[in-house]
Chain A
């Protein structure tokens, strides 16, 4: 189990939590990507009345992960809020939960393309990126050949693994030991196949994934993956 959860990145030892959160034990740090708070209401504004509980569900999963790892630092890797109006639409009750989570620790909102200016009403500070020791945390991976220790989100990676006659598709971490892309954490976030050039192109020398199963995290090499159709 530990074998599958452990991620070595630029010499640092990290853990993939089954929720999709990344843990850096040595620094007591927890990172999550693409929370997309209030995606539900964004759809509702356009007439698709999805159940309005996505923010609550995301907060619940985040608070559970924090309960497990008790981090001193939490980094949200951008697209934490689905759009510019998300902060205003956020339910006061959910807002209170969020404010409690940010309290008593260093909470960093990395700016994303959906939320270039994340609201600070519930605590935390905004950064465009964060460098800590051997690692750099940013929203979107830089398209440069020489990157070392980059942790990012943005792409919502998903992968499909073939198991006998069936396939299992789930969110996943993607890494080549030099850069790491986190799965999207939000309850209503869809996914992009890791074999899509947008993701695979960032890993010229191949990659491995850490797939989020219901009961744990499983590591697979790229060659074990099957492409989505369509």
Chain B
């Protein structure tokens, strides 16, 4: 291991620090010109490790121009890192320039940065894509020696990661000697990240050194065993919040993580009710005004707060030394996610992080225990990443054309050196190129409206400067769902909520936002006007899209194994053990390998409950497909409800041939038919169309056109599906939906795994394990074709409101 040169050893000594081994290992890797992946928990000086080799090089040989590019998924993080970096640079008196470049950077500074770039530039994937789209990119990046990608685990496997990987492939052509450094939290399979970092796009023989940081102390994780009654269902854990409050009182600073914004609002409000000591407790989620969030973050950094209730909005970010307890309210959903959240507490490696898990219901107790076991065993989640999105590729190809002419074969070769596109077929590439060129439509030609022109020299060139302008307006892969601002009557803006939520409100309705109960007053030009509620009536709660991550496959496996093995129940609270024992007595426990399906009558209906453990999204899709098939079997299906663990359907007639119902062939025509009309595909298509540059995203102040985008995307989808179902954008849409909202990949895996291993139990009444899902009935929304029936019902006022089973806990048949 190499020693550091003088100014650095002195600087470390002055601080009373000693460089970590992994920091020195990265310096050594740089000396041999190798790329490197650093996998280390938080608190290991990871970011400094990433920069140290560049600082050492620049200290020895001061140079003009861009030397190192640092890319972070968070704009705010670049600012924090800039501050953390200028301190050692100034203290050591090094002649190194360091600047940030994000969407917030003023125009004049951005222009100057292209003319005279700093040695170290801290930026985001989107800003890099923009820089690469200018003619002067070869000059700007020509002397680049190092790219540092922070929080790589959070980028790889996402569309932002795809865009960045393509950008890095481009950079490699501009600066062939450039090496890459990835900084990552602990991951299941470092090979995937090594492939991602490799300039070849593959893990085999990748010139990437794997460096592992200090493991740190084992975390201390506890599951709250509530003194209150453990609920059967629900996700708010309100029953346990007074116990949570007591923990906050006994702690210096706590980070209270929840899974959805709605949970954040409820938990924050309940804690505030309990807050007799007037502890400074704050709220942080993605719908709050940005300024409000920055204030909370700053107060946290100063150590002024005792607790913050937060969603994934605080999963990443600069370390807060003061946090000494992480509380996870509700199910952790994945082992890796839990490990990363726990890592937000206590950033001294040698001391253990402390965490408290607060399950909201009985299934969540199982999930928490399984997650805790997973952390102890050091097993992490990790499904192999999806191949890179074709919509992202379209954006990148247009960006490449904006920078200058390109040759198709060379571009294809370059793109397949980006890991997400390593296996990209030439046909897909050509189709995407065709789309970028003229829309790529098979039946009719847009030859005269080409965006790219192919010259006699075989090079593709941009047809005109308007295309470059439009590209730059639409760069990036994050497509927000339409939101609307909330504004207090004669007061300030409070934040934003998804438009569909506001659309469901009538003036006078109340809801919780930013910890307050607000009354909806009406829509104004571009905002929703609200006032503070005078009395504390029962509010409606904001229900946001996308907040609900499905249960990870790995954690689901652990839950299934635990269920099947009563010997593992010792760690569980008594109420949960009793519940499982009763299930064993009345029915059977779901097998780890195979599928338990229970059927039983209740009320006038016939229920079917399948213990699939494949996550909510896959269960939703399965529910749509099963009810379609039940319709065909003449069983008179009436509805279904899906949780992360279980799917329940109810019908007029009982299901007898369960094996036939769950046959794999449902993934054929039924799936195609349903997919085509599903609102999930429409939503996915809209995102794909925006990313690929078919339609434009909206910007603040263009609220009207935002709605127009939503509308147009649906019209385009309908026309395209009918006239060219094989179009590359529809292929991209289906691929996206299969891995995302419809989770067909996971559903197919489930159906394949359980064929011939379905255990059907025909019961006389509901089983203990089925109770939670029955309690969800009526809380769920109506989907798809059922809407049309509702229209009928509502318009004619003939059918009375369908009477849902109203199960009171008191009368549960246990």
Contact = CB atoms under 8 A, between A and B. Distances in A.
Given A51-B716, A190-B712, A218-B791, A160 B723 contact: no
A4 B443 CA distance: 39
B708 A190 contact: yes
Interface in B507-544: 523, 526, 528
B439 interface: yes
Contacts of B781: 165-166
A191 B790 contact: no
A187 B718 contact: yes
B225 to A, nearest CB: 35
A203 interface: no
Contacts of A218: 791-792, 795
Interface in A138-166: 160-166
Given A4-B795, A52-B439, A167-B503, A230 B526 contact: yes
Nearest to A193: B707
B449 A49 contact: yes
A122 interface: no
B633 interface: no
Contact of B719 (A57, A214, A229): A57
Interface in B706-763: 706-708, 711-712, 715-716, 718-720, 722-724, 727
Interface residues of B, number: 52
Interface in B197-215: none
B786 to A, nearest CB: 9
B724 A53 contact: yes
Interface string B458-500: 0000001011001000000000001010000000000000011
Nearest to A218: B795
Contacts of B443: 52-53
A163 B446 contact: no
B719 A188 contact: yes
Contacts of A190: 708, 711-712, 715
B671 interface: no
A57 B722 contact: yes
B446 A52 contact: yes
Nearest to B730: A51
Contacts of A51: 439, 441, 716, 719-720, 723-724, 727
A168 B500 CA distance: 11
Nearest to A220: B795
A127 to B, nearest CB: 29
A226 B787 CA distance: 16
B811 interface: no
B812 interface: no
Contacts of A41: 446, 449
Interface in A80-120: 91
B715 A47 contact: no
A134 interface: no
Given A48-B694, A229-B499, A230-B526, A161 B506 contact: no
A24 interface: no
B318 interface: no
Contacts of B706: 230
Contacts of B500: 167
B788 interface: yes
Contacts of B790: 163-164, 166, 168
Interface string A216-229: 10111000101111
A79 interface: no
A191 B439 contact: no
A104 B790 CA distance: 42
A56 interface: yes
Contact of B484 (A54, A214, A220, A230): A230
A215 B720 CA distance: 21
A47 B467 contact: yes
B712 to A, nearest CB: 7
Nearest to B484: A229
A44 interface: yes
B502 interface: yes
A45 interface: yes
A47 B466 contact: yes
A166 B444 contact: no
A44 B446 contact: yes
Given A53-B444, A57-B723, A164-B790, A226 B506 contact: yes
Contacts of A47: 449, 451, 464, 466-467, 470
A20 B790 CA distance: 21
A198 interface: no
Nearest to B702: A230
A201 interface: no
B528 A229 contact: yes
Interface in A201-220: 211, 213-216, 218-220
A189 B712 CA distance: 8
B439 A213 contact: no
A50 interface: yes
B9 interface: no
A18 to B, nearest CB: 12
Contacts of A56: 723
Contacts of B695: 48, 50
B641 to A, nearest CB: 14
A173 to B, nearest CB: 14
Given A218-B792, A219-B795, A229 B439 contact: no
A216 B439 CA distance: 34
Contacts of B715: 187-190
B549 to A, nearest CB: 22
A166 B504 contact: yes
Given A51-B439, A53-B722, A163 B499 contact: no
Interface string B783-814: 00001101110110000000000000000000
Interface string A158-182: 0011111111100000000000000
A166 B787 contact: yes
A168 B503 CA distance: 10
Nearest to B525: A230
A195 to B, nearest CB: 10
Contacts of A211: 791, 795
Contacts of A4: 795
A163 B719 contact: no
A49 B794 CA distance: 40
B371 to A, nearest CB: 32
A190 B707 CA distance: 10
Contact of A53 (B438, B696, B723): B723
Contacts of A46: 466
Interface in B527-571: 528
A219 B720 CA distance: 30
Nearest to A54: B719
A191 B711 contact: yes
A229 B449 contact: no
A54 B451 CA distance: 20
Nearest to A3: B796
Nearest to A158: B711
B707 to A, nearest CB: 5
Nearest to A214: B788
Contact of B502 (A44, A220, A229): A229
B787 A168 contact: yes
B538 to A, nearest CB: 16
Interface string A52-71: 11101100000000000000
Interface in A7-56: 41, 44-54, 56
B782 interface: yes
B704 interface: yes
| A-B pairs with lowest CB-CB distance, top 6 | A49-B439, A53-B723, A218-B795, A44-B449, A163-B790, A230-B703
Given A47-B464, A163-B791, A190-B712, 4 more contacts: A57-B722, A188-B716, A190-B708, A229-B484
Interface of A: 4, 41, 44-54, 56-57, 91, 160-168, 187-191, 211, 213-216, 218-220, 224, 226-230
10 contacts: A4-B795, A41-B446, A48-B696, A52-B444, A53-B444, A163-B787, A166-B504, A190-B712, A211-B791, A230-B526
